Chain A
Amino acid sequence: MNSRLAAAAALLALLSSPALAQRPDASTVVVAFGTDAQTLEPAEMNSRDTMNIADHIFGSLYEIGDDGHLSPYFADSFSENTDGTEIAFKLHPGLTCHDGSPLTAEDVAFTFDRARDPANKFTGSTPGFVLTSLGFKGTRVIDPLTVGIELNAYNPIALGLITEVKIVCKAPYTKMSRVQATQTPVGTGPYRFVEWVKSDRIVLEKQPGFTLRHAFFDRIVWRVIPEASTRAAELMAGNVDVITSVAPDQIDTVNHSANAKVQAVSGTRRMYVGVQMKPIFSTPGGIAVRKDDVRRALQYAIDVPTICEQLLRTSCQRATDLVNPPLGNPDIKPYPYDPAAAEKMLDAAGYPRGANGVRFELTLQAASGRYLNDHDVVLAIAQYLSDVGVKTNVEFMDWASVFLPLTRRHEAGPLFFLGTGGGTWNPLYDMADFADVSSVTNTPSWSDPDWFSLWPEANRKQPEVDRQKVVNRMLQVFHDKGPWLELYFQPDFYGVSNRLAWQARRDERINLVGATLK
């Protein structure tokens, strides 16, 4: 009898103990997102989620500020040689690594050379995309505080690409084994690594002595909560301060809760329906959709604003070409929703409605669950196209094993739904998807010379004002006859606790260094 009472009393004490409340204290900020980091080795990272964490542990020569522009970080300034094949960065004096050793030009050179070294076999974004796109040739230590990055040729987007490279220190990283580097990084940035419990959490602590930025919170906890409902529930209970990827249909619920609000930002990811321009689909639909006038007609058939408002619960930024505003061509207006016009144009293009009301059939390929509400958006698009007589069958495929390889091999189509990340600091970055006919990112296999012939002029070393004129011409070509059905820029929904003063960014990056309590 007594033992039972004791047990009941203990349970009661447990339930009412403050230990049950898991709200973070005033010096800790907790972020929850859906997928775990895979590695903490900067040269191996590929996912934005992982890189967001790493951006707190490491720094870079320049950074993309919260306003979307490039600004100095570890380097105070840079200068280019005459033909633009070397950029010399002047480092801020007095920087240190988290193991105490000073951060000098040697460490910067080490970072770049190490990532590029084929013996290391790194497969991350830095060696795989950044350094390749950069045309990286090598490094040159000019003096302890000045390092030169050598390029194969002048590159107009070099500075922006260089912001992606996270600086590591030579001393600790020559001593650490490969495995140690992935599990227990030694950083250079405003926060130091404390612990990583796989699939559960990563804990960072403020690095004393880091003076380049002022960080408010002593601790950042990055939690992994895969289920959207659970993430939102934790936010609303006050246990988590920031959550990513709020499901659109949960936005109202979060906004009505006492503890949190949703911040909707128009993201930089460009969502589109790609049209396969390679003549591999010989159905009437496949042939029709390769014609410029047919594609233009279809642009009028999809009610993008309604899709955004109904399915994504926000009015998204409508795409007029492939470049993130405000860097695109300001004179281009988005295609309006005008199904009557679409029908007339399709008739004029030589595709009248048949006896059963169908002009031609198309297949729209997509993966489900990869992008925001993609499943519903794709089905809605298919419905809109079918409504103007283009019977569209949706083919959902597994992202990893079928859809991704298909798009990379340029064999997806005749229509496929995809989203490609973009940038806020230079239009050429977004346009680089179609840098060359053979680019891997040229998933629709576009080859229109009106676009590709203008590249040398766009890439030439010239004042930005002149470059923008060439860019505008190219974007007009893209808008008129590009291989995309232009849709929208994917909105990002962040759930933010009411106690936190923090503004979400457009480019899928999370920067908590400037976050404070209200």
Chain B
Amino acid sequence: MRRMLARLWRAKFPIAAILVLLAVTGAAAFAPEIAPRDPNRQSIIARLAPPLTPNRQGRIDFILGSDGLGRDIASRLVYGARVTIVVGLAAVLIGGALGTLLGVLAGYRGGAAGAVIMRVADIQLAFPFILLAIMVLVVLGPGLLNLILVLGVGQWVTYARIARAQTLAVSQKEYVEAARAIGARHGRILRCTVLPNIVAPLIVVASFNLAGVILSEAALSFLGLGVPPTVPSWGGMLAESRDQLLAGRWWMAVLPGLAIALTALSCNVLGDWLRDELDPRLKEAG
């Protein structure tokens, strides 16, 4: 019992991280139930109210304050979790799936296809990602779908490189060559030998990637290329607050900034922990 508690205590940071991420997911899923008000309902008379300001009847309308249009920040934070989760997960899934597919292909088949894939990766890397995102979004127009697409497709290269390196390492093992010699089908080889070995490092990458995507969404919103302003998002809230910091209205910037930072932080902590946990196993398999 004491040993279990000790182990839990050693893992206090990753556990806290998991709890934070669960809270964010929960907020996203149950937003209509949790949020105190309608996140898009404006009341321009009550705009820029600091947190916990009582109205004329003495009741507190906005627990965490209101924004430039008098919308409730607490509710927008809750609904904003949706964009974070959806954009984050979708982008990482798209990037991860695409990258893994192409990387395994390049590593297993090699040859012309592999070379082309790696050259395209080089082309994409020859570009600061933000500039690529800006170009595509300015042209396609901002929007949730376009944002997910750009962020997702922008991530595939990291996954591809790792998948390819791991696939190459594994496919040169003797047992794989033996399997091929006895006529095992490619699909089976991939499934049974290659995939299990690349899953671990890819998951580590994915958790760091999630943090990066969340921060990229914030930066793109800052540049005016995020989700449309009628959809609450943490990045959008930060972008809308940029003129308010000078005027001392800290809650508009600090609260969504804290949400972004905590979520990204949790992803990073989780990634760290996963890497430490999965690493020794990697060493064994290698």
Could you tell me which A residues sit within 8 Å of B by CB distance? Answer: 227-229, 232-233, 247, 249-250, 252-253, 306-307, 310-311, 368-369, 375-376, 379-380, 383, 394, 396-398, 400-402
Check A379 against B141 for contact (C-beta < 8 Å): no
Listed stretches B8-16, B39-47, B191-199, B277-285; interface member: B39-47
CA distance A232 to B246 in the complex (A): 8
Check B141 against A307 for contact (C-beta < 8 Å): no
Is B229's beta carbon under 8 Å from chain A?
yes
Check B44 against A380 for contact (C-beta < 8 Å): yes
Is B102's beta carbon under 8 Å from chain A?
no
Check B247 against A369 for contact (C-beta < 8 Å): no
Contacts of A249 in B (CB 8 A): 48, 68, 243-244, 247, 249
CA distance A104 to B38 in the complex (A): 68
CA distance A353 to B242 in the complex (A): 40
Check B45 against A398 for contact (C-beta < 8 Å): no
Main SS class of interface, B: loop
Check B44 against A252 for contact (C-beta < 8 Å): no
Q: Known: A249-B48, A306-B45. Is A379-B229 also a contact (CB below 8 A)?
A: yes
Check B44 against A307 for contact (C-beta < 8 Å): yes
Tell me the chain B residues, 186-223 only, with Cβ under 8 Å from chain A.
none
Check A233 against B246 for contact (C-beta < 8 Å): yes
Contacts of B42 in A (CB 8 A): 379-380, 383
Check B47 against A310 for contact (C-beta < 8 Å): yes
Check B247 against A396 for contact (C-beta < 8 Å): no
Check B138 against A379 for contact (C-beta < 8 Å): no
Contacts of B45 in A (CB 8 A): 306, 310
Check A253 against B44 for contact (C-beta < 8 Å): no
Contacts of B141 in A (CB 8 A): 397-398, 401-402
Check A376 against B68 for contact (C-beta < 8 Å): yes
Q: Known: A247-B243, A306-B45, A380-B42. Is A398-B138 also a contact (CB below 8 A)?
A: yes
Contacts of A233 in B (CB 8 A): 246
CA distance A376 to B241 in the complex (A): 13
Known: A249-B68, A368-B224. 10 other contacts (CB 8 A): A227-B242, A252-B247, A253-B247, A306-B45, A310-B44, A368-B229, A375-B229, A396-B230, A401-B139, A401-B141
Can you pick out 26 interface pairs between chain A and chain B where the beta carbons lie within 8 Å of each other?
A228-B242, A229-B242, A229-B243, A229-B246, A232-B246, A247-B243, A249-B48, A249-B244, A250-B246, A253-B246, A253-B247, A253-B248, A306-B44, A306-B45, A311-B68, A311-B69, A368-B229, A376-B68, A376-B69, A379-B69, A379-B230, A380-B42, A396-B228, A397-B141, A401-B139, A401-B141
CA distance A250 to B48 in the complex (A): 12
Contacts of B60 in A (CB 8 A): none
Q: How far is the CB of B85 from chain A (nearest CB, A)?
A: 23
Q: How far is the CB of B232 from chain A (nearest CB, A)?
A: 13
CA distance A475 to B246 in the complex (A): 43
Contacts of B244 in A (CB 8 A): 249
Main SS class of interface, A: helix
Is B36's beta carbon under 8 Å from chain A?
no
CA distance A194 to B68 in the complex (A): 42
Residue of A nearest to B70 (CB): A310
Residue of B nearest to A232 (CB): B246
Tell me the chain B residues, 44-76 only, with Cβ under 8 Å from chain A.
44-45, 47-48, 68-69
CA distance A228 to B247 in the complex (A): 12
Q: How far is the CB of B255 from chain A (nearest CB, A)?
A: 17
Contacts of A380 in B (CB 8 A): 42, 44, 69
Is B114's beta carbon under 8 Å from chain A?
no
Q: Known: A379-B229, A394-B230. Is A250-B247 also a contact (CB below 8 A)?
A: yes
Q: How far is the CB of B73 from chain A (nearest CB, A)?
A: 15
Q: Known: A380-B69, A402-B141. Is A396-B243 also a contact (CB below 8 A)?
A: no
Is B245's beta carbon under 8 Å from chain A?
yes
Is B142's beta carbon under 8 Å from chain A?
yes
Contacts of A398 in B (CB 8 A): 138, 141-142
CA distance A400 to B224 in the complex (A): 13
CA distance A233 to B247 in the complex (A): 10
CA distance A379 to B68 in the complex (A): 11
CA distance A376 to B138 in the complex (A): 21
CA distance A37 to B231 in the complex (A): 35
Check B138 against A401 for contact (C-beta < 8 Å): yes
CA distance A250 to B248 in the complex (A): 9
Q: How far is the CB of A420 from chain B (nearest CB, A)?
A: 23
Residue of B nearest to A393 (CB): B230
Q: How far is the CB of B34 from chain A (nearest CB, A)?
A: 24
Contacts of B224 in A (CB 8 A): 368-369
CA distance A249 to B230 in the complex (A): 21
4 smallest beta-carbon distances between A and B, as pairs: A247-B243, A310-B44, A253-B247, A229-B246
Contacts of B230 in A (CB 8 A): 379, 394, 396
CA distance A323 to B224 in the complex (A): 33
CA distance A311 to B69 in the complex (A): 8
CA distance A229 to B247 in the complex (A): 9
Residue of A nearest to B248 (CB): A253
Q: Known: A375-B229, A396-B228, A401-B141. Is A228-B47 also a contact (CB below 8 A)?
A: no
Of B44, B141, B228, chain A has the most CB atoms within 10 Å of the CB of B44
CA distance A176 to B138 in the complex (A): 37
Tell me the chain B residues, 130-146 only, with Cβ under 8 Å from chain A.
138-139, 141-142
Contacts of A376 in B (CB 8 A): 44, 68-69
Check B228 against A250 for contact (C-beta < 8 Å): no
CA distance A306 to B44 in the complex (A): 8
Check A229 against B138 for contact (C-beta < 8 Å): no
Q: How far is the CB of B230 from chain A (nearest CB, A)?
A: 6
